[in-house]
């Protein structure tokens, strides 16, 4: 049985003698489009983007596969972006830990003493001072996050575009 990916054949074109579950979608009489019996669309390998094939059936299959590829690319972009944002936020929050480690001169006892001192002063402070501290801390972390996003953003976008343009990994 010849494979659909033989030289000279398009990946979505299958000779009607190859498989039992075929359907004529308006292509030539000898070349038909594979439609599985259970109604699921088979995974197909498309030619490079921008290449257009003639034939109503191949256009229909090509359109569905391109739609699925676009959906997969969008899902990949969303997942990568969410992961990248989580990494960036955790990195900025880690800056506070680094500050206390530096204040403690790299010693764990001094690190925890500084944390304890901060917690004790926060608890002893009145409501207005707590609100001011929370506001100042929010502004500081927002500035650090913005700087980090601006600094890391262009590299992330280049990598994401390169990954999507290169197609799925085998």
**What are 81-131's pLDDT values in tens digits?**
999 999 999 999 999 899 889 988 889 999 999 999 999 999 999 999 999
Domain identity same for 41 and 89:
no
pLDDT exceeds 80 at position 12: no
Is residue 29, in this structure, part of any structural domain at all? yes
Q: Are residues 88 and 61 in the same domain?
A: no
Distance of alpha carbon 142 from alpha carbon 125, whole angstroms: 24
Q: What is the pLDDT of residue 166?
A: 86
Residue 118 lies in a domain: yes
pTM of the model: 0.58
Domain count within the chain? 2
Contact 160, 75 (CB under 8 A): no
Instruction: Inform me whether the pLDDT recorded for 141 exceeds 50.
Output: yes
Q: Domain for residue 3, yes or no?
A: no
Range of the domain at 143: 78-166
Higher pLDDT, 24 or 12: 12
87 shares a domain with 46: no
Last residue of a domain, one of 67, 93, 113: 67
Place of tokens 């799925």: 168
Tell me what the pLDDT averaged over the chain comes to.
Answer: 77
Same structural domain, 24 and 45: yes
141 and 100 within one domain = yes
Asked whether residue 161 falls in the same domain as residue 87, the answer is yes
Cβ proximity of 24 and 32 under 8 Å: yes
pLDDT category of residue 18 using cuts at 50, 70 and 90 = very low
- Quick one: pLDDT at residue 29? 46
**Distance (Å, whole) CA 149 – CA 154:** 9
Beta carbons within 10 angstroms of residue 163's beta carbon: 15
Place 170 in a pLDDT band, splitting at 50, 70 and 90: low
In this prediction, what percent of the chain has a pLDDT beyond 90? 46
- Is residue 122 in a domain? yes
- Of residues 58 and 158, more confidence is placed in 158
85, 154: one domain: yes
The answer on 102 and 32 residing in a single domain is no
Q: Are residues 55 and 91 located together in one domain of the fold? A: no
Please indicate whether residue 165 or residue 150 has the higher confidence score (pLDDT). 150
């Amino acid at each position: 049985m010849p494979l659909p990916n033989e030289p000279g054949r398009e990946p979505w074109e299958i000779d009607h003698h190859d498989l039992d579950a075929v359907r004529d979608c308006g292509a030539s009489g000898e070349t038909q489009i594979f439609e599985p019996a259970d109604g699921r669309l088979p995974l197909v390998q498309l030619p490079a983007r921008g290449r257009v094939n003639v034939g109503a059936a191949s256009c229909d299959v090509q359109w569905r596969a391109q739609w699925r590829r676009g959906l997969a690319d969008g899902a990949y972009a969303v997942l990568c972006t969410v992961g990248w944002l989580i990494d960036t936020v955790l990195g900025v929050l880690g800056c506070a830990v680094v500050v206390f480690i530096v204040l403690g001169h790299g010693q764990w006892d001094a690190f925890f003493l500084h944390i304890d001192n901060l917690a004790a002063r926060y608890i002893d402070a009145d409501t207005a001072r707590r609100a001011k501290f929370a506001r100042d801390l929010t502004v500081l972390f927002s500035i650090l996050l913005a700087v980090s996003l601006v600094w890391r953003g262009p590299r992330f976008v280049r990598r994401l575009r390169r990954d999507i343009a290169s197609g799925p990994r085998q």
